[in-house]
Chain A
């Protein structure tokens, strides 16, 4: 079945630094990847949609300069949280979609900004 690998699973960083999260589709080509953010006891909120080789489309209210998304290949997308602050602490989840495959989710990244 479709597998999406997301790394790291947990990261702690200091306020003001940047953090990069990777999302890889291991056994299929992901033409579209989605990045979600989930606060405790809440639903998944879509941050942005990225298609391979083109700029990401951000949802309303999501700062594109703060959350940099790169979808450079059909198997890799990265989310970089720049100048992280404590309020950016959250659970970030990627999802990949390709061909006839449905939406496959990564295992998530718990970001803690101290």
Chain B
């Protein structure tokens, strides 16, 4: 089955700097890669996602890149703000429109220092 590895487990950056979180996956059939932000005591919220037919996607300060050959994808947050502090999870699924399950990475606790 699919296995998703996420690094680093914790990340601390100065406000205004950029943060990068990386994930690798094992199943070449995976074609949908979402990123979630989870605040304490809440469910995960989708912040950006990418499908295998594109290599990069950007939404304001957030971007995701995908390298299908190497089976890795990354989350980039620029101009970080204190409200970006949270736990971020990457995930992979072989079928966006079907009933296939998401497999999550281990999570990254991001802390933005004022």
Enumerate chain A interface residues (CB-CB to B < 8 A): 6, 31-32, 34, 41-44, 46, 49, 51, 91, 93, 95, 97, 99-100, 102-108, 110
Interface string of B86-107 (1 = CB under 8 A from A): 0001000100110101111111
Residues of chain B with a CB closer than 8 A to A100's CB: 97
Additional A-B contacts beyond A49-B99, A102-B96 (13; CB < 8 A): A32-B99, A42-B107, A43-B106, A46-B103, A51-B99, A95-B102, A97-B99, A100-B97, A103-B93, A105-B36, A105-B45, A108-B42, A108-B43
Find out whether the CB atom of B104 lies under 8 angstroms from the CB atom of A43: yes
Residues of chain B with a CB closer than 8 A to A110's CB: 41
Find out whether the CB atom of A93 lies under 8 angstroms from the CB atom of B44: yes
Q: Separation in Å of the A110 CB from the closest CB of chain B?
A: 7
Residues of chain B with a CB closer than 8 A to A93's CB: 43-44
Find out whether the CB atom of B104 lies under 8 angstroms from the CB atom of A103: no
Find out whether the CB atom of B43 lies under 8 angstroms from the CB atom of A105: yes
Interchain Cβ contacts under 8 Å between A and B, 16 examples: A31-B99, A34-B101, A42-B106, A43-B104, A43-B105, A43-B106, A44-B44, A46-B103, A51-B99, A102-B96, A103-B34, A105-B43, A105-B44, A105-B45, A106-B43, A107-B42
